[in-house]
Chain A
Amino acid sequence: MGLGLSHLSRVPARLALGFRMDLAFVLRSPALTIYYLAIDALLIPAVGGATFLLAERLAGIGPWSDWQVLFLLGYATTVEGILSAAFTYNVSHISRRIGRGQFDHLLVQPQPLWLTLATEGFAPISGGAALVTGIAIMSWAWTGLGLPLTLAWTGAFAVNLLSSVCVVLATMFLWSVVAFWAPVAGEEISMNVHDALGSLGTFPLDGIGGAIGIGLVTVFPAGLVAWMPVRALAGVSADPWGFLLTPAAAVLMFVVAVPTFARGLRRYRQTGSSRYSTFGHRR
């Protein structure tokens, strides 16, 4: 049972399909979609609103200027935006699919599981509000900070952004493995992990040392959602290796998450799912 990398060429067709279906969905009820997108655009960055207001009031937080805090907020919102645009339909909330017995639907598709997971949740329009808001906030902060638009910085930014997405996904998938063993108790675990990462991820975590500080970049890597990469990207830290920390952590987490999830999947193949609910399936 190989990785099926020969299926890579099928990714564009899958993404085009997701785009087509999402566009049709949006065009069928434009008023509802606008309402939905507006709520998303306001609520997702609001998670970090308190941090930003505090930074404004205090003219920064610790070593962070208010513009850097704004960049942090925009970055975290963009990470969230990518997740909601590319991994919707409970692909990122995979514990729901496992816990509700909906994983069977993935296994009857004639393509490697990675291809299904990478493409099935692609809904760039209905899920794109946070992405647009995040990019807008980042662009505003980027102008305020006067950051360079060099090839090196842009490359580092893109790699770090994708790494942060990878970290969040890997963390959600890692915790979701619990649902293979405890489908009822674990059904909503990815949602809880996501909420905790989202709310902690918008804080500048400087000054938090000891076990908690280490824990927030390892066991529960909220610090890698935005804080660690933005320290390097927005010039808070002068560490020349700072750009590499999040990508390195993402690779490590990916390496841990894949076999752990595969172990859970082997368990699923042994025991199956004793429950099934249509709730949330392909909606």
Chain B
Amino acid sequence: MNGEPAVVLTGVWKSYRQRERGSTPSEVIARLFRPRFRTIDALRGIDLTIGSGEVVAVAGPNGAGKSTTVKLLSGLLAPDRGTVRALGCDPVRDRVRFVARTGVCFGQRTELWWDHPVASSFDWKRVVWNIERQDYDRSLAVLTELLGLADIWRTPARELSLGQKMRADLALALLPEPELVLLDEPTLGLDVLAKRQVLEFCRAINQARGVTIVVTSHDLTDLEALASRIVMVHKGEVAFDGPFSELRATPGTGRRLRLRTDGLRPVLAGARFLETRDGAHEFSYDPSVTSLPALLAEAEAQVAVVDVETHRPPIDDVIAGLYEQWRTS
């Protein structure tokens, strides 16, 4: 990990113009002559710096600007305003130099050659990326071991399962030993085992090679397992940038208290009731405001408490709470 950041976005704006279509025949005809457009600001002056060797998760609700961010970083899109620098390059202007040092993997967009065995796609990558034979052999040996490619090596891509395809695609992206890896929804549609393999691989490759990883996903549990830092994008702006622990500490995302009682639900002034399931009542409370003993005393004064359990809310719930806050604010 050197001192120079891997990615620097400065005041990046990206807008799309969307044509508004008519729904009735008369409206359709009218809009043929007087088309209407609306502008969608996907990114609104984003500033973001990612250090070399960091693993950063980019999250946000649908349409927040996550994929746009990854596309800007991979050089597939140019910003309307502001600058994008990655690995010291402008990803659009210095495309060839930049992509040679970058691995890109879009979930469900395979780079594999469909009618060829997986091995052929790797041979293709070796030639197109101009990888020296000894580097290729070394990198392939590591990837084969970490991602278990041996069992699918001679299978045509079209016969692979979704999880196998993603493993092969990840290995293909990592084959040239890139310094920066951009993963857009890498766990989309994968089963639990395949997800775990992908996440463990990413962690291993980050620790072994110090690769900078930028990953987007809707699955926040996955992101928390992989990344040390999360950038939440909302309406084209960075709404949160910091470690997951800090995100969990944001107001309104406190701890959970589950009380199993004699059946009655206590009313707790210092906690918010969430739900009753399987005879247990779940509350949310902020430990910095209300202490657990105080809450228990309040409950026992009203009902007979049989069992008590406290836990952190799942990260998905934390984020869902934030999305809800943003939506209503």
Contacts and interface: CB of A to CB of B under 8 A. Distances in A.
Interface of A: 1, 4, 10, 13-14, 17, 20-21, 24-25, 104-105, 107-112, 269-272, 276, 278, 281-283
Contacts of B208: none
Given A104-B76, A108-B76, A111-B128, 13 more contacts: A10-B130, A17-B127, A25-B115, A25-B116, A110-B99, A269-B78, A269-B92, A271-B17, A272-B68, A281-B114, A282-B112, A282-B113, A283-B114
Contacts of A105: 109, 111
A112 B96 contact: yes
A4 B96 contact: yes
A107 B95 CA distance: 8
Given A107-B76, A278-B109, A17 B124 contact: yes
Contact of B113 (A13, A21, A107, A269): A21
Interface string B66-82: 00100100111110100
Contacts of B128: 14, 17, 109-111
A1 B74 CA distance: 16
Interface in B27-64: none
Contact of B74 (A24, A108, A282): A108
A104 to B, nearest CB: 5
21 contacts: A1-B93, A1-B95, A10-B130, A14-B128, A17-B124, A17-B127, A20-B123, A21-B123, A104-B76, A104-B106, A105-B111, A107-B75, A107-B99, A108-B75, A108-B99, A108-B104, A110-B99, A272-B77, A278-B109, A283-B114, A283-B115
A282 B123 contact: no
A109 B124 CA distance: 11
B109 A109 contact: no
**Most chain B beta-carbon contacts within 10 A, residue among A1, A4, A107, A278:** A107
Interface string B107-125: 0111111111000100110
B100 interface: yes
B129 interface: yes
B96 A13 contact: no
B124 A276 contact: no
Contacts, number: 74
Interface string B137-180: 00000000000000000000000000000000000000000000
Given A13-B127, A110-B99, A283-B115, A21 B71 contact: no
Contacts of B99: 107-110
Nearest to A109: B128
B125 to A, nearest CB: 9
Contacts of B76: 104, 107-108, 269, 272
Contacts of B95: 1, 107
A168 to B, nearest CB: 26
B118 to A, nearest CB: 13
B22 to A, nearest CB: 17
A105 B109 CA distance: 9
Contacts of A270: 77-78, 80
B16 interface: yes
Contacts of B108: 278
Contacts of A14: 127-128
Contact of B77 (A21, A269, A278, A282): A269
A276 B109 CA distance: 8
A4 B68 CA distance: 28
What 3 A-B pairs are tightest by C-beta distance, nearest first?
A110-B100, A283-B114, A17-B127
Residue from the set B16, B95, B102, B109 with the largest chain A CB neighbour count within 10 Å: B95
A110 B96 contact: yes
Contacts of A278: 108-110
A189 to B, nearest CB: 20
Contacts of B116: 21, 24-25
Nearest to B42: A272
A85 B134 CA distance: 32
Contacts of A21: 113, 116, 120, 123-124
Contacts of A4: 96
